[in-house]
Amino acid sequence: MANQVKVSNLGYPRIGKNREWKKTLESYWSGKMDQETFRSEMADIQLQHLQTQQAAGIELIPVNDFTFYDHVLDTAAMFGIVPPRFDYDGGEISLDLYFAMARGNAGATACEMTKWFNTNYHYIVPEIGRQTPRLTENKPLAAYRFAKERAGIEGKPVIVGLYTFLKLSKGFAASETAEVAGRFLPVYVQLLQELAAEGVAWVQIDEPAIVTGASEEEWKLLDTIYQTIASEVPGLNILLQTYFEAAEPLEALLSLPVQGLGLDFVHDGGTNLESIERLGWPADKWLGAGIIDGRNIWRSDLDTKLELVRKLAALTGADHLILQPSSSLLHVPVSVAGENKLKKTVKNALAFADEKLAELSLISAAFAGSEEAAAALQASREALEAFRALPERGRQDVAEQVRGLAQLPDHRSLPFAERVKLQQEKWQLPLLPTTTIGSFPQTVEVRQARLKWRKGVWNQERYDQFIREQIESAITLQEKLGLDVLVHGEFERTDMVEFFGEKLAGYLFTQGGWVQSYGSRCVKPPVIYADVAFIEPMTVKESVYAQSLTKLPVKGMLTGPVTILNWSFVRDDLSREEVANQIALALRHEVLALESAGVEMIQVDEPAIREGLPLKAEDREHYLNWAVKSFRIATNHVKDTTQVHTHMCYSEFNDMIDSISAMDADVISIETSRSHGELIVSFEEQEYDKGIGLGVYDIHSPRVPAVEEMTANIDRALRVLDPEQFWINPDCGLKTRGWQETEDALRNMVEAAAIARGKSAVLNR
C-alpha cells in the first residue's frame, strides 16, 4: 500500500447544522441570553465542529476559524484596532464593543462592511488610521488550547495574514502601507512566538490577497514580513495559504521562507499545476493542495481528483503533500444528510461541508490503495453518471433560445438623454424623488404565515389575502410618510433569489442549505441544477394589486440575472455566461408581463454584479461585457416611457463606471452609506449621466440616523451630482429591520429630502 497523504481543512462553517450559531447570537442581542450562557453555548457549538472534523479523519483541523461575527473583525479586535468614535481605553475588547463595531450603537455608526473577495460573505473593514496595534488577546492561542483541552485535538491555528489584513483595511494611503506594516509586524511576531512556545506544530496564515496581483513593492513587503517571521519564530511551521485563484508568479511565492504553501487547484484555471510542472517543487516545502471545491456544492469527480493527486505527488513527494478544500468551507452548507425531500439522483450529486471532508479522506485512502476506497469511488462514479443524464439538463428549447440571442436588439430604442424627457413628462416626479429599494420588514407574523401556507395549514386563498393585507399596510404607510415612488414590500418573498428560483425551471431547493452572508444573516442559496426557463408570470399579481391601491407609481421588483447567478449554487458543466443568458431570457418574459399589466417602473436589482468580478484584472473586461449583456437582454425591450431601475451593493465605482452606464438603466441606486464619502470621490473624477441614488442611511444597523446625518450625506452627493439626476433612498432593502425603526428612519429621510429640495430651490433662483 502506498503512503496515505495528509488531509487538512481550511475552515469549517460556523452556523451549525440547524443554524444554532445564528440563534445563539440573536438571543444574546435581543437580551434573552446573558453573556455567560452565550459564551457557554458558543463553546458547545465550536466543540461540535471540531469533533465532526476529527471523526471525518481530518489530520490538520483548523482552529480560530470559529468567530462570534467575522474573522477579520476578530483580527482587528485582537490587535486593539478600534475606530476613535467608539469608547475604548485599551485592553481586551468587550463583547458589547465588539458587536458595536459590527452593528453600530446609539452613539456610533458601524464599521464598513463589504464583500470578502468575490464571494457573498461580508467582512467588517478594519479602520487603522494612526493607531498603534497591541495584542489584546491571543485568539489563535485560546482556540488551540480549547481544541486540545476539550477534544484532544492538536489544532492548526488559522490567522489572517498581515499583507491581506492591510489590503482589506482602510484609514491610510497606499503609499503608507510599508510603514503601517512595520507597526503591525512586531505584534504578529509576538502572537506567533506565543503559539510556538505552546508547542503548536503548524499555523495556517491566510493570504488570499496575493492572488489579486501584487506590485514589485508589495512583493518586497511580503518578503520583509515572512523573512522577519522566519527569523523571529524559527521553530514554527507556516503554511502560507492562498485561494480563489492562481497564485502568480509562483516562483515569488516559493521564494518566501515558509514551510508550506497552500494553492487552489479548483478555481485557478489550471495555472497552479502548470506552474509547478514548469518550475518544479522545492524538496523542503509542503504543498497544501486545494483539490475539492470549497465554494460550490457538487459531488467531485473523484477519478479526476485522484489523477490530479497522483500528478502532484509525483512532483512534490507524497510525504510533503496535504489534501484540502480549495478554500474555507465557510461558503457551503454543513451537511447533505438532512435533505430528505430531494429526489435521490439529485441528492446523490450534492456534497456540502461534511461530504467534502469525506471526499478528501476517501481520495487519500484511494491514493494509498485501499480496496474499500475503490468500492466507494465506483459508487460516486455511478451517482455522477445518473445525475448528468437527467433530461432537464439538456433542453433543446432553451439551447435554441440562447442561440437566438444574436437576433435580439441589444439596446433601448432611444438613448437615455431622449427617453428621460419622455419619462419625466409621464411621471411628473419632484426634484430629488424619494423611494426605497424594495423590501419592507419580514416580521415573525409574515414568516409564520408563509410557514402555515407551505405546510398546508392555510390554503392559497387565505395566504393571498394575508399578503394583500400586508401590501395594503405598506402602501398606506409609504403614502403617509410622503414617499414619491412606492414599492409593494415583497412580503411574499423569502429571499430575493430563492423566490424567483422557485418559479423558474432548472432550480432545486434545499431544506438546510444555509450559509453565512454577514453576522447572523444566513441565506439559503437556490441550486441551478438544470436549464433555466420561464414558466409563467412570477410577480405580476402582487405588483398590479399594489398599484391599484395608489395613484403614485409603484415599482415592479425583480432580481437581475447576474445576481440570481452569483447568489445561487450554479451547475458546473456550463459556463457562467451561458447560465446567465438563460436566466436573462426568462426574466425578459417577466419584464414584458409586468409592462403589459400596466407596471411601467420596473426595478431589476443587480446587487451582486461586483461580487462576480474576477480577481485577476485581465479577466474583468470579459466578465463585465457578458454581465452587462445579460442585464440588457432582460430589460432592453421595454417602451421608452417605461423606467428601468437597478440597485447595486457598494463597489469601487470608478473601476466599473463605464460598465454600469452601459447597462443603460434609467436609475441606479447604490449601497454606500458606510462608505459614502469614498464613493463621492468617484463622481468628482468621472461623470455619470443617468439617474442615481446613493443610499443616505445604513439599513444593516438598527440605529435610526438623524435628519441632519442624512442631510449631510445628501449635501455631499449634490456637490458633484446634478439635483435633476439624484434620487434619495436607503442604501438597501428593509427586510431585516423592524417596523418602528423603518418608519422612523424613512420619516427622517423624507424630511431630509424636503430640506435638500428647499436648498436647491434657493440656489436655482
Q: Which residues are annotated as a binding site for L-homocysteine?
A: 437-439, 490, 605
**Locus of grid cell 409586468:** 594
CA distance 633 to 580: 10
What DSSP letter does each residue of 327-373 carry, written as one string?
S-GGGS-S-STT--SS-HHHHTTB--HHHHHHHHHHHHHHHTT-HHH
Looking from the CA of 103 toward its CB, the CA atoms found within 13 Å total: 21
Grid cell locating 699: 439599513
CA distance 761 to 742: 28
Distances in whole angstroms, Cα of residue 534 to Cα of each of 132, 133, 501: 56, 55, 10
Looking from the CA of 19 toward its CB, the CA atoms found within 13 Å total: 18
User: Beta strand pairing status for 601-605 and 286-292?
Assistant: unpaired
CA 510, 243, 319 angle in degrees (round to 5)? 105
Residues contributing to the annotated binding site for 5-methyltetrahydropteroyltri-L-glutamate: 19-22, 115, 120, 521-522, 567, 611
Residue 107, Cβ density class (10 Å: 0-12 exposed, 13-18 middle, ≥19 buried): exposed
**Strand order across the beta sheet in which 691-694 lies:** 556-559, 601-605, 643-648, 667-670, 691-694, 726-727
Is residue 700 annotated as a catalytic residue, yes or no?
Answer: yes
Question: Which residues sit opposite 528 in a β-bridge?
Answer: 507, 570
Residues contributing to the annotated binding site: 19-22, 115, 120, 437-439, 490, 521-522, 567, 605, 611, 647, 649, 671, 732
Quickly list H helices, 530-619. Answer: 540-548, 561-566, 576-596
Out of 49, 645, 676, 700, the active site residue is 700
Distances in whole angstroms, Cα of residue 475 to Cα of each of 27, 470, 471, 489, 598: 32, 9, 6, 8, 18
Residues contributing to the annotated binding site for L-methionine: 437-439, 490, 605
Cα 127 from chain centroid (whole Å): 21
Quickly list H helices, 638-738. Answer: 657-662, 676-685, 707-718
CB atoms within 10 A of CB 736: 15
Cα 273 from chain centroid (whole Å): 28
Q: Provide the annotated active-site residues.
A: 700
